[in-house]
Amino acid sequence: MANRLNESFPSFSPLYSEFSPRHRIIDNFSDYFSFNVCDKEKDNKYCTHQLDEMVLESSSSPSTVIIASDAIIKNNVAILISHTYIYNRPIIKIIHYMVHIISTEAELFAIRCSINQASNFNNMSKIIVVTNSIHTTRKIFELFVHPYQIQSAAIFSDLCSFFKHYENNSIEFWECPSHLKWHLHDDVNKKTKTFNPTPLYPCKMLWDLSKKSESDNILKVWKMIFQASNLKGN
């Protein structure tokens, strides 16, 4: 389990090679990824059945990893939780929480961490990501400039390595709306809503203030060490 607090991320750099025409994942690996969207014209039981069938088929394969992820903004804190399953058993549970980040970037960061974990497993040929924000996952593969491409670039890097490792490797994104209360995703959804992170400064949530206070404390310690040092003046 990993925890993160008070992190910030840059938005976009046009220098990423992953977005140049000859290196784009959508040009070189378009057959390696797919989206499975919940059919709004069908009832909830149909969508749940589709997800159950996917798990049933995947649970017999030692080379398939399923990731259920969710993110929520609560009291100015982004909470991201993902659970990773192999053989229908939980292998890794990850919690990230941070401030100074919006919900879309939080969702992308959750997917980014999950894919990074899954792609590092040995002998994995298929990654399945279950999320309630399928529209956010589509942003990963958008070709035009958007403010979350630093997350996309990191995901591209992991996926390209994963796809190149073996030509039959693939990734699937499955939509699971929260109201379905499907067991794997409902578990992470409940945890994101009930998890209460402890910020460094609970009275003042501003990231800049937290970092300024930390820096001021470090400077005070350095001044005390300097005053007591025999090397003062040299």
- Tens-place pLDDT, residues 108-119: 888 888 888 888
Tens-digit pLDDT profile for residues 148-187: 777 777 888 888 889 988 889 999 999 999 999 999 999 9
Residue tagged 């977005």 (tokens):
19
Tens-digit pLDDT profile for residues 73-92: 887 788 888 899 998 888 88
Mean pLDDT for 18-24 is: 61
Cβ neighbors of 206 (< 8 A, separation 6 or more) are 99
pLDDT band at 7 (very low <50, low <70, confident <90, very high): very low
Report which secondary-structure segment, H or E, holds 170: strand 170-175
Tens-digit pLDDT profile for residues 213-233: 667 777 888 777 777 777 666
pLDDT band at 131 (very low <50, low <70, confident <90, very high): very high
- Give just the sign of the alpha carbon dihedral 155, 157, 159, 162: negative
Torsion of CA 92, 89, 177, 172, to 10 degrees: 80
Give me the half-sphere count of Cα atoms (radius 13 Å) on the Cβ side of residue 199.
Answer: 21
pLDDT of amino acid 23: 62
Taking the whole predicted model, whether its pTM rises above 0.85 is answered as no
DSSP string for residues in 3-41: ---S-------TT-GGGSTTT-HHHH-TTSEEEE---TT
Query: Measuring CA to CA, which residue among 127, 159, 169 is closest to residue 23?
Result: 159
Mean pLDDT for 184-211 is: 71
CA 7 to chain centre: 14
Residue tagged 């404390």 (tokens):
217
Q: Give the DSSP letter of residue 159.
A: H
Poorest-pLDDT segment among 13-17, 116-120, 141-145, 168-172: 13-17
CB atoms within 10 A of CB 228: 8
Max avg pLDDT among 26-35, 126-135, 208-217: 126-135
The dihedral region occupied by 227, where left means phi > 0, alpha psi between -120 and 50, and beta the remainder, is: alpha
The identity of residue 60, as a single letter, is S
Could you please state the CATH topology (level 3) that the domain comprising 17-199 is classified under: Nucleotidyltransferase; domain 5 (3.30.420)
Give me the half-sphere count of Cα atoms (radius 13 Å) on the Cβ side of residue 66.
Answer: 25
